[in-house]
Amino acid sequence: MRELIRTNDLVVLSCAEAILAGEGIACVVLDRHTGMNAFVTPRLMVESANYYAATKSLQDGGLGAFVYEPD
């Protein structure tokens, strides 16, 4: 699994899930219900094999700015 998005914005997570579902790419949101906690940020995860296709789908869907890229 690879982290695709890390954000406290539940609308962004929901939109990303919808975009990926429309493309047939399975995803899971970890720590969704801890988003109000200052120490834990929800993360949208995809299978490693689907990472690049998922990234492209989110960029095409206008969410490219939210794709997580570790430092």
- Phi first, then psi: give them for residue 8, nearest 5 degrees: -90, -5
pTM: 0.88
Of 22, 30, 66, the closest CA to residue 46 belongs to 30
Q: State the pLDDT at residue 70.
A: 75
Q: State the pLDDT at residue 32.
A: 83
Hunting for tokens 């998922």 — which residue is that? 54
Proportion of the chain in helix, strand, coil states, percent, rounded to 5: 45, 20, 35
Q: State the pLDDT at residue 35.
A: 56
pLDDT in tens, the chain (71 residues): 999 999 988 899 999 999 999 999 999 999 888 756 678 889 999 999 999 999 999 999 999 999 988 76
